[in-house]
């Protein structure tokens, strides 16, 4: 069964360092989402891609966060520099065109010390 892949699964870093997360969506899914989920809360959308184009990044803290999906397939989310408040689960999801269901990866748990 096709799945969304994410790596790493866990990342511990010190504040002011740079971190990067990778996501490989289900093959053929044109829409890709990055969410941040703080412990005990629901996921919040950071950025949405349609193929290689950003559709919505209104909630992305652009002074320190960046995201790209250069070839419209896999995607990278970067934080530079990391802050203590960035500790959270970062989830990637993908969706096929014409469908509503989103498929989520296992997430990357980030801890900033």
Rounded CA-CA distance 75/24 in Å is 7
- Which tokens in the block code for residue 16? 């002011």
**Which residue among 41, 80, 85, 111 contacts other proteins (CB under 8 A)?**
41
- Which tokens in the block code for residue 35? 């969410």
**Which residue among 93, 94, 110, 112 contacts other proteins (CB under 8 A)?**
93
Tracing tokens 């070839």 back to the chain, one arrives at 71
Contact 52, 71 (CB under 8 A): yes
**Which residue among 48, 69, 82, 110 contacts other proteins (CB under 8 A)?**
48
**Comparison of 55 and 113: residue with beta carbon closer to other proteins:** 55
Note the residues at the interface with other proteins (CB under 8 A): 4, 31, 33, 40-45, 48, 55-56, 89, 91, 93, 100-107, 109
């Amino acid at each position: 069964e096709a799945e969304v892949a994410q790596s790493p699964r866990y990342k511990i870093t010190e504040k002011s360092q740079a971190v990067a997360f990778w996501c490989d969506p289900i093959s053929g899914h044109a829409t890709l989402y990055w969410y941040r989920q703080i412990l005990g809360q629901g996921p919040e959308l950071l950025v949405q891609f349609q193929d290689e184009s950003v559709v919505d990044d209104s909630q992305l803290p652009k002074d320190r966060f960046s995201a790209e999906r250069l070839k419209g397939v896999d995607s990278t989310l970067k934080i530079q520099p990391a802050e203590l408040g960035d500790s959270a689960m970062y989830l990637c999801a993908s969706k096929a065109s014409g469908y509503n269901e989103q498929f989520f990866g296992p997430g990357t748990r980030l801890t900033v010390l």
